[in-house]
Amino acid sequence: MSSQGCSLLGCGVDDDDDREFDLDDYEGSVARWCRGCGDHAVLTAVERLLTAAQLPPEDTLFVSGIGCASRFPHYLKTYGFHGIHGRALPVATGAKMRRPDLHVFVVMGDGDCCSIGAGHWIHAIRYNMDMVVMLLDNGIYGLTKNQTSPTTPKAFPSNTQPRGSYLDPIDPMSATLGVTNASFVAQTADWVPAHLYATLEAAQAHRGFSFVRVLQRCPQFSARIFEELVRQPDRIELLVHPDGVRVPALESIYKNVREHDPSDLDAARQLAASGERFRLGVLFHDPSKPRLEETRQQRSLTAQQKIERLNEELDRYAV
Ligand code: SF4
């Protein structure tokens, strides 16, 4: 069935609890990413998640910046905002502030989030507003055809640094875990669809800023970064816990399995900082962290209170 009303614009919604949404209600235009691009897998997982969660399309918003991954909103039938480079998070936080009832998703690439958008990223983590934030990290600027990004591994060549990236990359997991009020931090990979889905499901269930870094293959420009990880499961470690993500079927493929309590922030930071393996799972989860939209709401004034405050202020200038 198709969506009804236009809740986002507040112009009349049919609140029909009997509606059932299927994949058709979320699938937008045909995705134009390259063949083999990891973005396709993320889109599939997201469409599945929206269907399973039965999120009304008219109450769901996808916000993106600029980059290959940022074409995401075009491929869904929810509301979408394909914004400007690095500014997905300010748009999403503004929408959530005004309409806390919306289901907000943000899709960013590594250049988008960790370079030009890094300032917004840091503050959005601290605001801890309820949204699912996906960093589709392919370690390169793909849309503009192969430039070094903040997450490009050291010595990996690109058009801008043909002899290899000069510096060690930013680690998005350590960076996120280092910010005050981080509440949900997870990592997954596009080529492990069961894990990808389970992680997004956990992120969507969390009330707060759910940050999910998806290791995302770009066969055009950074295939080498992920080839080894795909071919050598021993380089990956699954983090499992009843409060995290567990996909038992994967434990016969990935022999390195670690029980990790996601409430332990120090342990999460140590795991993120240790580069011995790539960890997939929920590194940190604290549902008790305050959310900006909630705390603001609690302090917001009624219309009558606003008038009284305004009159008090004006009275100060009475002569
Ligand atoms: Fe995907 Fe890379 Fe193609 Fe962009 S350039 S669509 S990231 S494969």
Q: Is 68 in the pocket of ligand 1 (CB under 6 A)?
A: yes
Q: Is 39 in the pocket of ligand 1 (CB under 6 A)?
A: yes
The pLDDT score that the predictor gives to residue 5 is 44
Ligand 1 centroid, distance to 319 Cα (angstroms): 67
> How far is CA 30 from each of CA 67, 161, 265, rounded to the nearest angstrom?
17, 34, 41
Q: What pTM was estimated for this model as a whole?
A: 0.91
3-state helix, strand and coil shares in percent for the chain, rounded to the nearest 5: 40, 20, 45
Picking from 150, 134, 154, 157, the residue whose alpha carbon sits closest to that of residue 222 is: 157
Query: Which ligand 1 atom is the nearest neighbour of the CA of 33?
Result: 6
Lowest mean pLDDT segment, chosen from 184-193, 248-257, 309-318 = 309-318
Q: Is 225 in the pocket of ligand 1 (CB under 6 A)?
A: no
Q: Is 37 in the pocket of ligand 1 (CB under 6 A)?
A: yes
**Confidence bin at 200 (pLDDT 50/70/90):** very high
Nearest CA to ligand 1 atom 5: 142
Q: Which two tokens stand for residue 79?
A: 């509301």
pLDDT surpassing 80 at residue 237: yes
pLDDT digits (tens, 9 = 90+) for 247-301: 999 999 999 999 999 999 999 999 999 988 899 999 999 999 999 988 877 777 7
| Between residues 305 and 288, the one the model is more confident about | 288
Query: Which ligand 1 atom is the nearest neighbour of the CA of 68?
Result: 4
- Identify the CATH assignment for 23-289 out of 3.40.50.970, 1.10.167.10, 3.90.1150.10, 3.30.300.130: 3.40.50.970
Q: Is 67 in the pocket of ligand 1 (CB under 6 A)?
A: no
Ligand 1 centroid, distance to 145 Cα (angstroms): 9
